[in-house]
Amino acid sequence: MIRIASIAALLTSVAALPLVAQEAAPDAGLSVDVAPQIGPAAEDEGGPLRIEITDGVVEPLAIAIAPFHGDGLAAEVQSVVEADLTGTGLFRSIDDDAFLETRDRFDAPVGYEKWKAINAQALVTGDVSATETEVTVRFRLFDIFSGQALGDGMQFVTARDDWRRAAHKMADQIYARLTGEAPYFDSRVAFIQETGPKDARLKRLGIMDYDGANIAWLTGDEALVLAPRFAPDGKSILYTSFESGFPQIRVMDVESVTSRPLTEASDTMAFSPRYSPDGKWIVYSQDKAGNSDIWQMEPATGTARPLIASPAIETSPDYSPDGTQIVFESDRSGSPQLYVAPADGSGEPVRISFGEGRYGTPAWSPNGDRIAFTRQEGESFHIGVMRADGSEETMLTESFLDEGPTWAPNGRVVMFTRVTPGGDGEPRLHSVDITGRNMRPLDLDFAASDPAWGPLLP
């Protein structure tokens, strides 16, 4: 846990203002057109700076991040904050060489005119202090053109080894204040590391920070593992394991790194599990005698029942954020397509995909407004998004093989697996925002697949 505390009164450009404790960033949700314009939008009467989302494409918002004050961790904390913000594609960091103001202390007055002269639209100042066991990070954010602070200052206190979390928390606050959206930097991703030749892959389950740092391994590579998914509280992970020789579902406690089976039947295969939003249920695929149906289980008791059963192949279910519906893949129409059905099994599934090709691996956005999916059309694979009723289908990527999207906690970014072609091709993790413009590979030095984004950490 990171402690969020108040900071003593700090100086702005003209007066000392008390900084009030703030428990969390604003959570305004996400409402964005498919092709947004990103640009500064200050209110006519000198109101706060805010990134406005409209049609079109313009330059990212120019932000100045003054050198952080403090001990040896200051530069590292600043580097993480800058990478978080610029990695969104919404912000451009102004080079230090252009700065006209040298800030000799954290609480020094802000010379707004000097920052205006280099076209900075926002200024971030920071301070980092550390003991052998703890790190304290504090920051302030200023709107240069209105000449005022954006919100109160804030500090985060955490264990020294968790300094990166404090940096992500700072970046989350800045992002939220400048966009009005919920943050996502202080979150983790479960994934599968892949090693060995294509015809004899070894796979193990790991977790990491959203940016690829702080990797921890949860399984060895003795048994094949696939398709992890976090619980809503982030404390456990569902995954498919071949430990018994056939695919079965296990649940891993992240803190203790211990797992237990949820399915063990010798005459069926179970895979692709997903938690309900309240964590009380899971949906998954169960195959018996070559026919795959959608099942529902209460993991606390192991009680299970068929939810959607037909002669067709049904797989890859996922809950809507309110828990009332599921989306899944089925070939009941002759080819794999996406369907939505009531989560209690009370109604008939409704088809929502109607484009050319095959659809699969649907994932419901945390905001509930979109469903991400994999689409194969001819020789190309795409990651796409559509509304929950199937409208406004938009392709975000195109490649030899893109598959398995997973959503960031704020519903703005999708992470997925991209496989390179050829005999030496291997899977790598990439992310893209819902405009399709900000595509980024994750900085990992090994092959990886099956990403699963967890919730924002407390």
CA distance 389 to 36: 22
- The one-letter amino acid code at 83 reads A
**Among the listed residues 394, 373, 439, the one whose alpha carbon sits nearest the alpha carbon of residue 35:** 394
The pLDDT tens digits of the residues spanning 62-76 come to 999 999 999 789 999
Question: Cβ–Cβ contacts within 10 Å for residue 95, how many?
Answer: 9
* Tokens 């294509």 found at: 198
Q: Which residues of the chain have pLDDT under 70?
A: 1-48, 52-58
Question: CA-to-CA distance for 161 and 179, rounded, in angstroms?
Answer: 30
DSSP alpha helix (H) spans, 349-400 = none
Q: How far apart are CA 64 and CA 144, in angstroms?
A: 10
pLDDT tens digits along 23-53: 333 222 222 222 233 333 333 334 567 776 5
Note the pLDDT tens digit of each residue in 316-365: 999 999 999 999 999 999 999 999 999 999 989 999 999 999 999 999 99
The phi and psi torsions of 341 (rounded to 5 degrees) equal: -145, 155
State the pLDDT at residue 2: 54
According to the model, what pLDDT value does residue 59 have?
79
CATH number of the structural domain 3-179: 3.40.50.10070
| Dihedral sign from CA coordinates of 387, 182, 406, 295 | negative
Q: Tell which CATH architecture fits domain 188-456.
A: 6 Propeller (2.120)
Element (H, E) at 249: strand 248-253
Residue 139 contacts residue 152 (beta carbons within 8 Å): no
Helix or strand (DSSP H, E) at 431? strand 427-433
* pLDDT tens digits, 229-241: 999 999 999 999 9
Domain limits, CATH 2.120.10.30, in the chain: 188-456
* Residue 386 in tokens: 């559509």
- CA dist., res. 89 & res. 433, Å (int): 9
Q: What is the pLDDT of residue 48?
A: 64
Distance CA 231, CA 288 (A): 26
The boundaries of every CATH 3.40.50.10070 domain in the chain are 3-179
**Which of 99, 107, 63, 98 lies closest to 81, judged by CA?**
63
pTM: 0.89
Environment class of 303 (CB within 10 Å of its CB; exposed 0-12, middle 13-18, buried 19+): exposed
d(CA 62, CA 377): 39
